[in-house]
Amino acid sequence: MLRVEKLNYDVKGRKLLKDVSLQVRKGEMVVLLGSNGAGKSTLMRLLACDQKPSSGFISLNRQPLDEYDQRTLARCRALLTQQQQVSLAFKVREIVFMGRYPHFDAVAQPQDYTIVDEVMELCGISDFSDRVYMSLSGGEQQRVQLARVLAQIWDNPDSLLLLDEPISALDMHYQQKVLAIAKALSRRGYMVVLVLHDLNFAANYADRIIMLKHGRKLFDGTPMEVLNAKNIYTVFSVEAQVEMNPKTLRPYVKLEEMTLDGQLVTNII
């Protein structure tokens, strides 16, 4: 279980996160929603222990996050970040294999190779496993990085899987597929936290949705509880109609067309 209590994080006097508390249970898939700059990525980095909070407390599986040995933590938490550049001419398979680095010292075990093959197959990248990463399209690169992150924690269902906008560059098919993979992993016991921007994906796949604004947690609950027109307007300043999808019993969000106010339009023209 992941427990977060009264988390604050400031950089140079700016408060990026204010008093955020939350919990993620084993086997739960939680989606973070919020506008740009709301603190989602910052929160993800704190949960990954990449940054230390200014104050507050995070524990993973009953152990405070800052008491973990770096290598041990690497075997039970993985974070897919938004930036995914690789500077030298590494091949796809080599990149995915790096996900197994925390699990061996000098010589990889047979199971490491098996896992790499499995996750590459799952993410649909086996066909170009010998190509150089830099030569791939953005969406392909994103799937390679996802495969690497999955390889890192593949054999430990007590892990925390953090995916920061994992489908931002993907086509429709892989958007669905990646969310389905995340969901399936949560059913195997993983704690999964994702940042998404599509409200209907969030509604369909999340067990729970947390909505952030200006570094604060405003709403936290099941999709039915928190995805309503009022909350959506509060967080995103966007008019929306929310219905219930009778097949899934989950909310379905229809966005209204946005009109620019008069002054802005004159400026454009």
Interface residue list for other proteins (CB under 8 A): 48, 50, 70-75, 77-79, 81, 83, 85-91, 94-95, 98-99, 101-102, 106, 148, 152
Cβ distance to other proteins smaller for residue 86 or 229 = 86
Cβ distance to other proteins smaller for residue 15 or 91 = 91
Closest contact distance (angstroms) between CB of 58 and other proteins is: 15
Say how far apart CA 146 and CA 189 lie, in whole Å.
18
Say how far apart CA 171 and CA 188 lie, in whole Å.
26
Cβ distance to other proteins smaller for residue 67 or 256 = 67
Helix boundaries (H) for the chain = 40-47, 70-74, 92-98, 110-122, 138-153, 172-187, 199-205, 223-226, 229-236, 262-268
Closest contact distance (angstroms) between CB of 165 and other proteins is: 15
Cβ distance to other proteins smaller for residue 89 or 184 = 89
Closest contact distance (angstroms) between CB of 49 and other proteins is: 8
Say how far apart CA 53 and CA 81 lie, in whole Å.
18
Find out whether 217 and 37 touch, Cβ atoms under 8 Å: no
Closest contact distance (angstroms) between CB of 101 and other proteins is: 5
